[in-house]
Structure 1
Amino acid sequence: MIGNPDFLTARGPDQAPELQALESPEGELHLRFFTTSGDEFALPATGIKEVISVPPDRITPIPNVSPLLLGTLNVRGRVVWVADLGQFLGDATLLSTDRPEISVVAVEDQDTMLALAVDRIYGMVWLDIEEILMPTNVPDGMAPFLRGEWVFHNEGDRRLRLLDQVAILRSARWAA
């Protein structure tokens, strides 16, 4: 049967019609998520080390550190700082830790890892980097950490802002 040419081409009498060719996605893969303010952001998949949901009691609070930091977390044997990304970007509302799990996005650059706690994760999407625009109406505290934004005119001018994880990791705000 395997030597039968009809078997190899899926054209035999008992074979299903030919499958449609899968379309290759356009753009680059990104993780979409929301902060407590409801703002929507994206990070390139290439800069993400891991995405996890953790119970709040697995984040160990550390006294006398920046108020932006929720504490530390053990990520595969490595102790990593966990930060409230929304507060880091200027949200007035703190991330609620009064819930069963907190969504955390671990980003890494040159052996420096930081876990960014976010309100909720939308998922992975393909986005065309060629369509990115310079951000407009952005708070001054957020601007240094943005690469640009996508504006979806067919969705009421919804904005999806692309974050620069290296700028976030290297920020002087962590020392405050």
Structure 2
Amino acid sequence: MSDTLSLPNRLSPIIDTRALPPSSNASEQFLRLHLIPDTTALLPIQQLIEVLTIPIGQIVPIAHIPSWVMGVYNWRGEILWMVDLGHRIGLPPWHQQKMGISTHTAVVLHIRSDQRTSTNSKSQMLGLVVNRVEDIEWCNSDLIQSPLSVSITPQLAPFLRGYWLKSTGEMLIVIDGKAIMAGMPKA
């Protein structure tokens, strides 16, 4: 059984308008994730539905799949594919990290199909294993900059929406959840 922390989604946002930046028209909420080694990434809150703590051994490995797919997990009675997000974007695989932990931290990515292009609205879910979930960040989406092609790896490029340079000088990569989902192997 896993401990969970629910996140707001598009249907039931939990937004404290007192915490909004002054020009909130272009502001967007992101979940701040830490990936090893020393990489901080942002994923849009509206693409996430839950944060999970999963005991080691609860993710069942599957043979003959890409190395960044860790396996499957029984989530709410459904099969949820689990992906090592760091490994998927070109960082060292989770199993090579020296962490000495007894649980995985994962976020559940939830992508809804565009209803305008399909008569049946479908949704897809995917578990993304990360080192830790840090915080929720407000970011003016106009400040997300295009990545410099020389500064990103070929593994990261298809999933990178851009980067955000905070006023403190910290640079955060912004990951596109739809691109992560589109990059999954087809059955």
| TM-score of the pair, normalised by structure 1 | 0.78
CA distance in 2, matches of 1:34, 1:133: 20
CA deviation vs aligned residue, 1:96-151 (integer Å, no higher than 9, x gap): 48512111011122322110101111121212212111112111221111111111
CA contact (8 A) 1:68 1:87 kept: yes
Partner of 1:62: 62
Partner of 2:20: 25
Deviation at 1:153, TM superposition (A): 5.1
Partner of 1:130: 142
Partner of 2:40: 40
4+ long deviations beyond 2 Å: 92-98, 152-155
CA distance in 2, matches of 1:77, 1:98: 29
RMSD of equivalent CA atoms = 1.9
Matched residue SS, 1:50: strand
Is 2:172 the partner of 1:144?
A: no
Aligned residue-pair number? 151
% of aligned pairs identical? 26
**Aligned residue runs from structure 1 range 1-176, under 5 A:** 23-26=18-21, 27-95=27-95, 96=97, 98-110=100-112, 111-136=123-148, 137-152=151-166, 154-155=168-169, 158-171=170-183, 174=185
CA distance in 1, matches of 2:58, 2:93: 22
Unaligned runs of 5+ in 2: 1-16, 22-26, 113-122
CA contact (8 A) 1:60 1:71 kept: yes
Deviation at 1:160, TM superposition (A): 0.5
Matched residue SS, 1:57: coil
Q: Which amino acid aligns with 1:39?
A: T
Matched residue SS, 1:87: helix
Deviation at 1:163, TM superposition (A): 0.6
Unaligned runs of 5+ in 1: 1-21
Q: Which amino acid aligns with 2:52?
A: I
Q: Which amino acid aligns with 2:20?
A: P
The structure whose Rg is larger is 1
Deviation at 1:58, TM superposition (A): 1.4
Which one is further off, 88-97 or 112-121? 88-97
